Amino acid sequence: MYIQALGNISPQTDFNQLPQKVDYTSNHLKAIDADITEFVNPNIARRMGRIIKMGVAAAMASMKEAGLEKPDAITMGTAYGCLEDTGVFLKKLVEQNETMLTPTNFIQSTHNTVSGQIALLLKTHCYNNTFVHRGFSFESALQDAIMLMNENDAAHVLVGAADEITDASHKILSRFDLYKNNVANSEELFSQHTKGTIAGEGSVFFMMNKKSSEKDYAILKDVTTFYKPIGNHAITDRINKLLSSNGLSINDIDVVINGKNGDVQNDRVYEQLEENIFSGKTSITYKQWCGEFPTSSAYALWLAANIAKHQQLPADKTNRSIKHILVYNHYQNIHHSLQLVTAC
């Protein structure tokens, strides 16, 4: 399917301004503030949780760029859902011993709030689905869109992902030893070779079309997910299978976007592939810009689409000839996914 338009509310959102080295002030990266005043009445906007604003802003930006009024379907992924509203309602529930509660936070806590709000704003009755499966959430939304097009049930699908960090969620996830304590910049993220990564968040939406709009960023040729592969060869098999089913081999891949996050154990999986199937390939990372979170692969697709369109690597103005890009990401070595992107 063709990637016609993009919307991105993440820690870094301008492809042409992506810094080679990012300075960090903490071990979590915050998404830019989403401005939705153009789309939403300020009274309504004020009550919206942060993830809803991020999702709505990213979705509306991609609709606007596409110049479309309504999509034929909306599919999205969120691993954690609306954490802020969930946390507030839960806190009050515990502290007030189930009394004096008000509905607003509960109403906005359901995982389909973002996609529901997008439907409300676009006044569209179309197919609307939300996937909530950890590191597969965004890929499932892509799979849904591909199938809707195969089935001739949709030609224009708004596909996206959104996840937010809250104070509580960051405290809890930190207790699982997921993050580095001292990391001053993106170079250190990858050079320390220690345990832990940097937390991230954000929302990216894509206007996907069955047919070319003549002004597309790129083509998403295929997506696949695989669960807990055993060993390096199982991952290599999946890569080869995906490529061959699209009439390609690894030799055709010009750029690999990998999901390295700075955690030494996590990154070993990628390093092993670099010694084998990816050896000699131009391989770039992306989590230094958006941080690590289960739906970060949407950011990787945003990056791939831009690389294909600009024919340049991020933070590098050299003009190149780039045809096929493979995005390979794994989340905690449980959820592995591949996205194959081809320049138009």
CA 89, 176, 48 angle in degrees (round to 5)? 30
- 61, with CB counted inside 10 A (0-12, 13-18, 19+), is buried
Tell me the residue type at 19: P
Based on CB atoms, which residue is closest to another protein, 33 or 177?
177
d(CA 38, CA 15): 23
Give φ, ψ of 105 to 5 degrees. Answer: -65, -35
HEC letters along 272-336:
HHHHCCCCCCEEEECHHHHCECCCCHHHHHHHHHHHHHHCCCCCCCCCCCCCEEEEEEEECCCEE
Distances (CA, A) of 172 to 109, 166, 199: 18, 10, 12
Residue with tokens 């739906």: 295
d(CA 206, CA 59): 7
Based on CB atoms, which residue is closest to another protein, 4 or 169?
169
User: Do residues 206 and 6 touch, judged by C-beta distance below 8 A?
Assistant: yes
Q: Considering the complex, what minimum distance in angstroms separates the CB of residue 166 from another protein?
A: 12
Based on CB atoms, which residue is closest to another protein, 46 or 125?
125
**Distinct helix (H) and strand (E) counts, the chain:** 12, 10
Q: Considering the complex, what minimum distance in angstroms separates the CB of residue 285 from another protein?
A: 25
DSSP 17: G
85's enclosing H/E stretch is helix 83-95
Q: Considering the complex, what minimum distance in angstroms separates the CB of residue 158 from another protein?
A: 12
Based on CB atoms, which residue is closest to another protein, 91 or 215?
91
Tell me the residue type at 80: Y
Give φ, ψ of 18 to 5 degrees. Answer: -65, 125
Q: Considering the complex, what minimum distance in angstroms separates the CB of residue 106 from another protein?
A: 4
Q: Considering the complex, what minimum distance in angstroms separates the CB of residue 271 from another protein?
A: 25
Based on CB atoms, which residue is closest to another protein, 79 or 253?
79
Based on CB atoms, which residue is closest to another protein, 168 or 344?
168
Q: Considering the complex, what minimum distance in angstroms separates the CB of residue 44 from another protein?
A: 10
Based on CB atoms, which residue is closest to another protein, 3 or 76?
76
User: Do residues 10 and 160 touch, judged by C-beta distance below 8 A?
Assistant: no
Based on CB atoms, which residue is closest to another protein, 123 or 193?
123
Residues lying near another protein in the complex (CB under 8 A) are found at 74, 79-81, 86, 89-91, 93-95, 97-99, 101-103, 106-113, 115-117, 119-120, 122-134, 136-137, 140, 143-144, 147, 150-151, 168, 171-172, 175-176, 225, 227-228, 334
DSSP 29: P
Q: Considering the complex, what minimum distance in angstroms separates the CB of residue 254 from another protein?
A: 27
User: Do residues 29 and 200 touch, judged by C-beta distance below 8 A?
Assistant: yes
Based on CB atoms, which residue is closest to another protein, 44 or 184?
44
Q: Considering the complex, what minimum distance in angstroms separates the CB of residue 53 from another protein?
A: 15
Q: Considering the complex, what minimum distance in angstroms separates the CB of residue 3 from another protein?
A: 20
